[in-house]
């Protein structure tokens, strides 16, 4: 059998990661044994960040893997697949993940907002991909499944800090329009 041919597989994604602007892990999910230990994962993330944090591209071949990435303010989003993987599938996965996070964070995609909503971000990652298999590529469906919305909580049950944050967000977006 030809070595260039491979068996078809649904396991497209090897890893999903979000790193901050210093290269520190915000979220990372590995779906195979390419990097079995936490030390190897951290080393890979550090090297990947060093290779991509100044680049303007969206895709690189790195350590025998296809990596698609996107940066915004102080966060870097990565989706990693095998070297034989279709870049369009990985890019679609990345865009769905980024757009769902953007919608969850109400277009305020930055480190602090991500940390404040880390539970919803982890759920979004789980809704996007399970065990390396892409489950959903529509960001609106992912957000709908995560379904964590502060707007649905009555004002009497919200903490004062959340009420003030909600008011601040509404004022900010009304000024930006």
Within 8 A by CB and 6+ apart from 32, the residues are: 11, 14, 132
pLDDT at 96: 93
> What Rg do the C-alpha atoms of the chain give, in angstroms?
18
Within 8 A by CB and 6+ apart from 119, the residues are: 148
pTM over 0.85: no
Tell me how far CA of residue 5 lies from CA of 82, 84, 156, 157, in angstroms: 14, 10, 61, 58
CA–CA separation, 125 and 128 (whole Å): 5
Answer CATH for 15-146 from 3.30.450.60, 3.40.50.2300, 3.40.50.300, 3.30.450.20: 3.30.450.60
Strand, helix or coil at 100?
helix
pLDDT at 8: 62
pLDDT at 5: 56
Q: What is the pLDDT along the chain (177 residues), one digit of tens a residue?
A: 445 556 666 678 999 999 998 889 999 999 988 888 999 999 999 999 999 888 777 888 888 899 999 988 889 999 999 888 888 889 999 999 999 998 888 888 888 888 888 888 998 999 898 888 888 888 888 888 887 554 555 555 556 677 777 788 888 777 776
pLDDT at 144: 87
Q: Where are the domains of the chain?
A: 15-146, 153-177
């Amino acid at each position: 059998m030809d070595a260039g041919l491979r068996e078809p597989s649904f396991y497209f994604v090897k890893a999903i990661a979000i790193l901050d602007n210093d290269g520190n892990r915000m979220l990372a999910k590995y779906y195979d044994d390419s990097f079995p230990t936490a030390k190897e994962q951290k080393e890979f993330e550090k090297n990947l960040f060093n290779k991509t944090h100044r680049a303007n591209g969206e895709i690189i071949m790195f350590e025998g893997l296809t990596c698609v990435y996107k940066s915004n303010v102080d966060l870097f989003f990565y989706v990693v697949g095998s070297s034989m993987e279709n870049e369009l599938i990985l890019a679609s996965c990345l865009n769905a993940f980024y757009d769902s996070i953007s919608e969850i964070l109400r277009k305020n995609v930055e480190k602090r907002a991500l940390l404040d909503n880390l539970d919803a971000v982890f759920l979004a990652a789980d809704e996007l991909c399970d065990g390396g298999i892409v489950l959903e590529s529509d960001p609106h469906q992912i957000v709908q499944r995560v379904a964590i919305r502060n707007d649905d909580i009555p004002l009497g049950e919200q903490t004062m800090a959340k009420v003030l944050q909600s008011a601040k967000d509404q004022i900010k977006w009304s000024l930006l329009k």
